[in-house]
Amino acid sequence: MTVPTVQLNDGNSIPQLGFGVFLVDPPETERIVTDALEVGYRHIDTAAIYKNEQGVGAAIAKSGIARDELFITTKLWNDDQGTQSAFDAIDRSLEKLGLEYVDLYLIHWPVPSKDRYVEAWKALEQIKESGKARSIGVSNFMVPHLERLAAETDTVPAIDQIELHPYHQQPPVTAYAQEHGIQIEAWGPLGQGKYPLLELPEITSIAEATGKSPAQVVLRWHLQRGFVVFPKSNSRERMAQNFDVFDFELSQEQVASIDALERAGRVGGDPNEG
């Protein structure tokens, strides 16, 4: 199965489906990422704060998969928003991952109260220049944060990774991103299991009609809306299920019925705080 790729505003491309490792236990990470690579995933989303970059790196090294077939993302943690601290942070992440570069480096949260994300973004511009990250982007940036980067820096982020699932579709940011060529990545694509998304009649009826599982229906909705997704699961069976979403299509009506579930239902942290 070849996962479709999406072209970014810097000319690089990213596999539209990947595997996320938030809350994957560090000691279990090597095994779980090895399973994901065996299932066929080639795009892995980690972060310094997940404390499992080492396990991701060990699985990559063991896999023998060529570096240019992989797409690896990691993120700059909030405490490291600064020029030298960002340079040190990427070096630590690369060492743990056992890599010479990451495909994508993101500022994890804007943390507006600290007011250092513009400085951090300028550091990421230099990190891209150095070749340690092929693409750079942000995460949890809302429209005012993106507008400040546009006003005060030279580079438009390639990516904004935000909480996005049927109850929380983030219309203002997704519209801004589309207008400015920023690719949206949807974190928590299955709502992190924090509300009974997979039991909603709007989802289960489409699952019955298409012969796919509710999770596959929701992931298919993300893909058809143009988002990049990387669902997380420790179970190999679910990893395989989540990867098997390219042999069916939702109708326009089915997509619209999931669009209609929007209710500003955030399940994670508020990017305007902190």
Give 131 or 192: the residue with its C-beta nearer to ligand NAD. 192
Residue 245 near residue 216 (C-beta atoms within 8 A): yes
Cβ at position 147, least distance to ligand NAD in Å: 20
According to the binding rule CB under 6 A, does residue 189 interact with ligand NAD? yes
Using Cβ positions, the residue closest to ligand NAD within the complex turns out to be 20
String of contacts with ligand NAD for each residue 201-240, x by CB under 6 A: --------------x--------------xxxx----x--
The catalytically annotated residue of 41, 50, 105, 176 is: 50
Active-site residue, 195 included:
no
Give 144 or 196: the residue with its C-beta nearer to ligand NAD. 196
Find all residues with CB under 8 Å of 186, minimum gap 6, and list them.
Answer: 161, 162, 163, 164, 165, 222, 227, 228, 229
Pairing assessment for the beta strands 133-139 and 159-163 based on DSSP bridges: parallel
Check residue 220 and give left, alpha or beta (phi > 0: left; psi -120 to 50: alpha). Answer: alpha
Name the phi and psi angles at 131, rounded to 5. 90, 0
Give 174 or 241: the residue with its C-beta nearer to ligand NAD. 241
Cβ at position 23, least distance to ligand NAD in Å: 6
According to the binding rule CB under 6 A, does residue 169 interact with ligand NAD? no
What distance lies between CA 41 and its chain's CA centroid?
A: 14
Give 176 or 243: the residue with its C-beta nearer to ligand NAD. 243
Residue 12 CB burial class (10 angstroms; 0-12, 13-18, ≥19): middle
Binding window for ligand NAD (CB under 6 A); candidates: 6-14, 146-154, 186-194, 220-228: 186-194
Give 133 or 154: the residue with its C-beta nearer to ligand NAD. 133
According to the binding rule CB under 6 A, does residue 93 interact with ligand NAD? no
User: Angle 3-7-11 (CA atoms, 0-180°, nearest 5)?
Assistant: 135
DSSP class of residue 112? Answer: T
According to the binding rule CB under 6 A, does residue 166 interact with ligand NAD? no
Cβ at position 187, least distance to ligand NAD in Å: 3
Residue 180 near residue 174 (C-beta atoms within 8 A): no
In three-state secondary structure terms, 188 is coil
Binding site for ligand NAD (CB under 6 A): 20-22, 45, 108, 139-140, 161, 187-193, 198, 215, 230-233, 238, 241-242, 268
